[in-house]
A and B are shown apart, each in its own frame.
Chain A
Amino acid sequence: MDIDLAIENENHLRLRNSLHSFLFEGKKDDSLACRHYDCSLGKWLYTTGIFQYRHIPEVHSLERAHTELHNRLTDLSGEKEKKDHEKCRAIYREIEEVSLRLSLLLQQLSEAIKSPAADEMKQLSEEMDDTLPLEHQALCDFFMQAPGIFCVLKGPSHVFQLINPDYKELTGDRELKGKEIRAALPELEGQGVYELLDKVYQRKRTYTGREIPVYFNKGKGIPEKVYLNFIYKPIINANNECSGILVFGYDVSEQVRLRKRSEESETRLKLAIDAAETGTFEWNMNTREFICSEKLAKIYGYRKKTGISYKEFTRAIHPGDKKIRIHAIEEAMRTGIMFYEARIIRPDGSLRWVKFSGRIIFDEKRNPCRMYGTALDVTDQKTLEERLEKKVKERTRELMLNNELLIRQKELSESVINASMDNIAVLDTKLRFVIVNERALIAFKKKKERLIGQPIREVFPQAVRSGLYRDLKNALKGEGMHDFNYRSFILKGYYEVFIFPLRDSNDKVYGVLLITHDNTPVVEASERLIAANKKLEEKNSVLEKNNRELASFRYIANHDLQEPLRKIQVFSGMIRKHIDRPERIKEYTENIIHSARSMSDLVQAVLSYSRLSANEQSFTKVSLNAILKDVKKEFQPLIREKAAKVSCSRLLSVKGDPAQLKQLFACLLSNALKFSDKEPSITILSRVIFSDIRQSGNSGADKYLELVFKDNGIGFEQKYADQVFRMFRRLQTSRQYPGAGIGLAIVKKIVEHHGGHIFVKSEPHAGTAFYIYLPVI
């Protein structure tokens, strides 16, 4: 099978073009769907090429590149269907590269196949592979017709071997063949071309360049810039040495320029849009030409339709902001983007804030050539900003003041809390100490660090026992507490306790305030007061008793002393009346004597009653046996007269007033002897009993001596039992049983003085028994 490799090359390059149309214009080309073994090159390769020229390495490379190209094309069709543009672009770039490679390989293969007709071709083929059959003419044709630039550089100094017409045109139609590149194209110096070629030659690595600007001196004196897509491919011989470099590329200058122009116009458009409300300016940095819009002039305070000059433009900048502008321009020189805000001074002297933004356009040498810019009057905005800023500053100041105030308040409240004489603590919702004042620290006998943050039940477990913990828990539920007399287990004493729930603005309890006020002195004072009161009451009751006694004495004076006196008066009057009747006088005189005696008895009794006092200091240990013995001795004549029998058990000793106790025994014995209508039989018994008898006395003792005075006398009805102890109360007429009616009142008083108790049991004609209880100390 014969094949024209040049045509194939063109076909495959056309494939790329079709692809471009397909991708960007949507034109469908069936050749794109063609598989690598279906296309004519493929058919040739798999029927003839690979087998016939298997000794030529390029044929295998060609086969791989060809397969890859077709595969990539198929991939691309698929991605295009999926509308994945990003991926399409990537594949397209690969295809471009592969097709370039394929194109190169085809040329190489053509060279290898055709025996070189021309000398240069022959020379080249010799170096590549002498055995290759070269079709020189075809190759030459290929070169001449190849779309794109092509040349072969030989050796480490890159000597031009083969140059196609496009390349020749690119370099300005100069004689290049046989010349080293450095000599042939000196303008490339400094553009990095030589160095790149050296690198490719040395490293034997293909270099692909895209849109690389290269300046060629085409003889017009000014270097002309072209953009090139190219491949530097090292030519490797059988010894794996690099013999030269194949250069293949396209001039893409037009494309790049077009795109750059569109970019530029886009920028302009954008600026134009931005400029709707803004002034615009354009400054050609090379020519110093300055063009600006009417709007800009207006911003600057001019009414000129033609705009303002560059001088006017720069001079108006406020001296204080000139630095800002310079800095912004310096920045723009590096980044291409300019932005600054500055004040300008209008001709009328008014100040305006202007926001400048713009772009610097650079030439190929990265020299800034033009500046497009906009200017926007932002005075109002700025004033607002300034006002805002001022507000913020004011607010900040206010906040700082507030903060300071708060700090001062905090210090104040802390010092107030600390100065408090009460113990103050604040606890959080977990009942941990948050604040403890100094007073409380002293009272708790704890260091601050030991308390703050610690739960109260851990620091003071006794709080649980005392109920304080429960009260604090209740406070967390919102229940406050105030107890005037709180017994503190922590502080040991009596405290007035306040427990308040602390609430935030949402009424939620966030802690508990605990204030305790030491009440111990108050409570102690009040206890003292109570004791004093009790004493006073006792005194009072004594006084009351004294008062009652005084009232009794008044009664005595008014009645009992009056009575005998009155009788004396009556009977004296009778004597005077019957002075002539001696028998009557005798009778009246007897009456007078009787009355006077009873009066004397009464005075004696009253005196002895009033002398009775409850002076415990006179108390000594008194043997009742001895007392009874004394009293019996005193009453001995009467006992004998009445033939009375007095029997007694052995009596114990008590603590008391001996004189009073003697009086007690005397009274009782006298009564027993007096109120009898037969031979008196008197029994005195004594025993110790354990009992709490407090009906009358309040000694509080539980051990008493019981004394029983029992007689067999006239007795009385039990209902008069209480009366017998009252002063001047008599159950019998005084004539029948003489006496002042005071004896038992004295007895009762003596018993009471001794902290004892007395009661009586009696029955008419059966006898009477007095029961006396005296505390045994």
Chain B
Amino acid sequence: MKNTGDLMASKTLNCFLIDDDPDDQEIFCMALEDMGEDINCRYASDGVEALKVLNGNTYTPDYIFIDMNMPRMNGNECLQQIRTIIRLKDVPVYMYSTSADPEAVAATKELGASGFIVKPTSVAELTKTLHFCLRK
């Protein structure tokens, strides 16, 4: 917690959540709020929209969270595209999905994902997980 505290103290964290589900966006937001830290969160409804933002060269998030199941462009495709952006090569990208099929998880690792978060059944659970992710 100490380390986290140091980290958090240093600057405002920018998180970018790419998820088409408004409910999930709300739940994610609630979890971040519960962390009590200075965290700025931005949302995109799908991969196409997210890439438009990221390719704009003005926004560099500290963490990116991508929902696996989205219309138009799914999570993996989106991850692949992000990993081609050199500016973002050191930015941790977490995949975010309801189901965690081991094969699917392994595939995201291959494509350059930093971790895989299973969508929680409670906000507290997600808060705990996000604590773990941001501390890294």
Contacts and interface: CB of A to CB of B under 8 A. Distances in A.
Interface of A: 555, 558-559, 562-563, 566-567, 569-571, 573-574, 577, 591, 594-595, 716, 720, 728-735
B98 A562 contact: yes
Nearest to A729: B71
A585 to B, nearest CB: 15
A302 B27 CA distance: 152
> Which of B20, B97, B98 has the most chain A CB atoms inside 10 A of its CB?
B98
Given A574-B30, A734-B20, A569 B71 contact: no
Contact of B119 (A563, A595, A728): A563
B98 A563 contact: yes
A530 B72 CA distance: 44
B121 A569 contact: yes
Contacts of A733: 20-22, 45-46, 71
B122 interface: yes
Given A566-B121, A569-B122, A558 B20 contact: no
B123 interface: yes
Contact of A562 (B71, B99, B122): B99
A559 B122 CA distance: 17
A566 B118 CA distance: 11
Nearest to A720: B72
Q: Is the interface of A mostly helix, strand, loop or mixed?
A: helix
Nearest to A559: B99
Contact of A570 (B69, B71, B123): B123
B54 interface: no
B72 A570 contact: no
B71 A730 contact: yes
Nearest to B68: A559
B21 A574 contact: no
A559 B100 CA distance: 9
A716 B124 CA distance: 38
Contacts of B110: none
B20 A559 contact: no
Contact of B98 (A559, A591, A729): A559
B101 interface: yes
A567 B122 contact: no
A497 B98 CA distance: 67
Interface string B14-30: 00000011111001001
Contacts of B119: 563, 566
> Which of A562, A566, A730 has the most chain B CB atoms inside 10 A of its CB?
A566
B124 A573 contact: yes
A217 to B, nearest CB: 157
Given A559-B98, A567-B23, A731 B123 contact: no
B99 A570 contact: no
A170 B125 CA distance: 182
B92 interface: no
B71 A573 contact: no
Contacts of A729: 71
Given A570-B122, A573-B121, A734 B99 contact: no
A594 B72 CA distance: 23
Contacts of A569: 121-122
A732 B69 contact: no
A733 to B, nearest CB: 4
B120 interface: yes
A598 B22 CA distance: 14
A618 B107 CA distance: 43
A566 B30 contact: no
Nearest to A735: B22
Interface string B105-133: 00000000000000111111000000000
Contact of B101 (A558, A566, A591, A734): A558
Contacts of A734: 20-21
A573 B45 contact: no
A580 B22 CA distance: 24
Nearest to A568: B121
Contacts of A567: 23-24, 27
B122 A595 contact: no
B27 to A, nearest CB: 5
A570 B121 contact: yes
> Which of B20, B27, B101, B122 has the most chain A CB atoms inside 10 A of its CB?
B122
A743 to B, nearest CB: 14
A377 B52 CA distance: 137
Contacts of B45: 733
> Which of A594, A716, A729 has the most chain B CB atoms inside 10 A of its CB?
A729
> Which of A595, A731, A733 has the most chain B CB atoms inside 10 A of its CB?
A733
Nearest to A569: B121
> Which of B23, B119, B123 has the most chain A CB atoms inside 10 A of its CB?
B23
Contacts of B30: 574
15 contacts: A563-B119, A566-B121, A567-B24, A567-B27, A569-B121, A570-B27, A570-B120, A571-B23, A573-B121, A574-B30, A577-B123, A594-B23, A730-B71, A732-B71, A733-B22
Given A570-B122, A574-B30, A731 B71 contact: yes
A734 B27 CA distance: 17
A595 B23 contact: yes
A574 B125 CA distance: 12
Nearest to B19: A733
B96 to A, nearest CB: 12
Contacts of B121: 566, 569-570, 573
B46 A573 contact: no
A692 B15 CA distance: 54
A573 B30 CA distance: 12
A735 B98 CA distance: 17
A566 B120 contact: yes
Nearest to A576: B122
Interface in B32-80: 45-46, 69, 71-72
